[in-house]
Amino acid sequence: MESLCIAIEGIDGSGKRTLAENLKKKFEEMDIETKIVSFPRHKEDYSSDLVDKFLYEGLEFPDDEYKELREGLLYSIDRMVCLTRKRENGMSILEEMDEGKVLIFDRYLSSNFIHRCNDMSKDELGKYMIRMKHLEFFLMGLPEPDVTVVLSVRPEVSYENILKRGRETDENETLENLTKAYNNLEYLCQKEKYILIDCCKLNEEGKYEMLSREEITEKVWNKLFFQPL
């Protein structure tokens, strides 16, 4: 098969990393070399310092027409440095991912659209998406995913998952911002032809809970390879 690039998205606490790891196992069972790259690269020396300062240390930009673009650029630089810098073997991640391999992104450019644009109008969002895609895919030379999978998890369920982690949270992980991001998912998936996967069900008490990891993985796998996109 040709090389395949898959981006996994969703609001915080939706199980993106778990899905990435499960898909990697399924590809490797087919003897297909697979690599997962998670963004942003928290605490990585080369590229994440500005992102971490923005999320945790109060780096702010004026609340004007360029605010989201300036914020988004921090993440773009992080992705560019991670994917294109030469590593110890003299090659970048992109150079290593030649024909027949799978590259899975745990978050990618589409995260900018989900998290940075909650207060934009549809017209503003459209312009922002054009600018960011041009920047990353044409000016920076980063790969455009062959497919983007978006995990749809109710915000109250995602928020509960986040609290269970017991670690420091960022501005995206409040229930208010999770709800705003969740409410934009369907529109973004329609506009960009992302694959939207419903990951919740109602339990016997009438409350939403997540499907099992195995159920979510099978839904995504079947959608990728056995159902028309």
Residue 227 is predicted with a pLDDT of 63
Q: What is the pTM of this model?
A: 0.90
Mean pLDDT of 107-128: 89
Residue 146 phi, psi dihedral angles, 5° rounding: -70, -30
Residue 156 is predicted with a pLDDT of 93
Which token pair is 87? Answer: 């590593």
Place of tokens 């928020």: 159
Nearest to 38 by CA among 2, 78, 86, 92: 78
Determine contact, residues 175/155, Cβ cutoff 8 Å: yes
Q: Give the separation between CA 56 and CA 6, rounded to whole angstroms.
A: 28
Give how far the C-alpha of residue 105 lies from the chain's centroid of Cα atoms, to the nearest Å.
7
Determine contact, residues 72/110, Cβ cutoff 8 Å: no
Q: What is the DSSP letter of 144?
A: P
Residue 165 is predicted with a pLDDT of 79
Residue type, 37: V
Report the percentage of the chain scoring pLDDT > 70: 95
Nearest to 105 by CA among 196, 199, 10, 177: 10
- Tell me the sheet residues that pair with 157: none
Mean pLDDT of 56-85: 92
Q: Give the separation between CA 103 and CA 32, rounded to whole angstroms.
A: 11
Mean pLDDT of 90-116: 90
Confidence check: pLDDT of 229 > 60: no
Q: Residue 125: exposed, middle, or buried by beta-carbon count in 10 A (0-12, 13-18, 19+)?
A: buried
Q: Give the separation between CA 195 and CA 220, rounded to whole angstroms.
A: 9
203 or 44, which is more confident? 203
Confidence check: pLDDT of 30 > 90: yes
Where would I find the H helices in 1-118? 16-29, 49-56, 67-84, 93-96, 109-115
Confidence check: pLDDT of 82 > 80: yes
Count CA atoms within 13 Å of residue 27 on its CB side. 24
Residue 43 is predicted with a pLDDT of 76
Confidence check: pLDDT of 167 > 70: no
Q: Give the separation between CA 20 and CA 8, rounded to whole angstroms.
A: 7
Lowest pLDDT segment from 85-89, 132-136, 174-178: 174-178
Confidence check: pLDDT of 18 > 80: yes
pLDDT in tens, 179-209: 988 988 988 999 999 999 999 998 888 889 9
Mean pLDDT of 128-153: 96
